[in-house]
A and B are shown apart, each in its own frame.
Chain A
Amino acid sequence: MSSTEMLLKRLPNDIGGLPADRIVQTDHPLLPWEKRCHALADVLDFHKIINAEEKRRGVAALGSELMGKLTYYERWAAAFANILFEKGILHPEELALKMTEVERRRQMELAL
C-alpha cells in the first residue's frame, strides 16, 4: 500500500492507536474569540447551517498540515469558511472583504 494511498484512506484525525508522546496536562481558559467560535458552532448546528458532523468533516478535510499547525478553534474557523463557501452561503470574496474591514476596524479601535 503506497503512502499516498494511506493519505486518503486514513483521515488525519483518525489517530487511535498511533504512536504518540506523553500526555502534557495543559489546559487554558478560552480566549474570548475561541468561546465565541464555540458558540457560533453551536448556533450553526441548531439551525443546521453547519451541523456538528459537517464541522468534523470540514476540520479533517483541512488536511494534516493545517490540522497539525492550527489551534483547535482556528481549525473550526477555517472549516466554517470552507463549508459556507461549498454551500454557497458565503463567497470567498465577501469574506475576504469583510475580514479586511474587521481588521481595519479593530486597528482603529486599538489606536484610540
Chain B
Amino acid sequence: MNPHDHPHDHPHDHAPIESPADAAPSYYEVMETSIRELLVEKQLISPAEIRHQLEVLDSRTPALGAKIVARAWVDPEFRSRLLADGRLACEEFGITFYDDTKLIVLENTAKVHNLIVCTLCSCYPRPVLGLPPDWYKAKPYRARAVKEPRAVLKEFGTEIPEDVEIRVSDSTSMMRYLVLPRRPEGTENFTEEQLAALVTRDAMIGVITVNPVN
C-alpha cells in the first residue's frame, strides 16, 4: 500500500488506493469500492482512516507473537504476566488491541496441548498475529478441530501422546487465544532473537509444535 514515511500534519493528495490498473475489478471489488466511496462522500468515514488501518494491518504479523513467545521463554516473570493477562503483557511491547478484544495465552506443557479455533466464524488474535490463513477460516478446520482434534493435528504432522490432555478453545466472544508453545530442546544458549525465529504462526494456533533443533 502507500508508504507513509512522512508526517501528516499537512493535507496533500495521495495516490488512489485502488488495485493495479491492469486488473479488471470483480463485482465484489466494485461493491467494496462503491460502499467505501459512498460512506466517504457522506463523511461517515475518511480515506485517511482506511489508509491508516491498512498500515495497522500490515504491521501485525506472526513475528509479533513470536517475540512474545521468545520473551516468555527467557523471562519467567514476563511469562507469569502473560499467562495472567495476555493483552496487558502484549501492551508492554506496544502491541495494542485495536479491536477491543482480550487475550488469553494458553500454555502448552508436558501434560497439556492447546489448540484454538473459531467454529462460528474466524475469530483470531489479529492484533498480535496478523490475519489468519485461509484454512483456519474454512469449513474443514472449523468443523473438525472441536470434534477430532487429534486427527486434525495428525493432518498437520503433529502427534500428541494419548496421555497428554488436548484442550480446544472455541472463540465465541471477545476473548482471543494464543498458544504458548513449549520451548524446544537444545535451545538453552539461544538468544531471544534466535528463539523468536523458531516460533511460527501455526505453533501459536496450536496445530504444530516448535521443532527441536537437530
Q: A residues bordering B, Cβ < 8 Å?
A: 11, 13-28, 30-33, 35-40, 42-47, 49, 52, 56, 59, 70-74, 77-78, 80-81, 84, 89-90, 94-95, 98-99, 101-103, 106-107, 109-110, 112
With a CB–CB cut-off of 8 A, which chain A residues contact B57?
35, 38-39, 42
Contact (Cβ within 8 A) A23 B140: yes
Contact (Cβ within 8 A) B44 A49: yes
27 CB < 8 A contacts A-B: A13-B121, A16-B146, A18-B143, A20-B144, A23-B135, A24-B140, A26-B133, A31-B19, A32-B1, A32-B17, A33-B29, A33-B32, A35-B1, A35-B54, A40-B35, A42-B57, A42-B99, A45-B99, A56-B120, A56-B121, A73-B32, A81-B31, A89-B39, A90-B35, A95-B34, A102-B37, A106-B30
Contact (Cβ within 8 A) B135 A40: no
Please measure, in the bound complex, the distance between the C-alpha atom of A104 and the C-alpha atom of B141, giving whole angstroms: 40
With a CB–CB cut-off of 8 A, which chain B residues contact A99?
30-31, 34
Please measure, in the bound complex, the distance between the C-alpha atom of A72 and the C-alpha atom of B211, giving whole angstroms: 32
- Verify if B49 is at the interface (C-beta below 8 Å from A): yes
With a CB–CB cut-off of 8 A, which chain B residues contact A11?
120
B-side binding surface: helix, strand, loop or mixed?
helix
With a CB–CB cut-off of 8 A, which chain B residues contact A36?
17, 32-33, 36, 50, 54
Q: Which of A16, A22, A94 has the most CB of B within 10 A?
A: A16
Contact partner, A103, options B25, B56, B137, Cβ 8 Å: B25
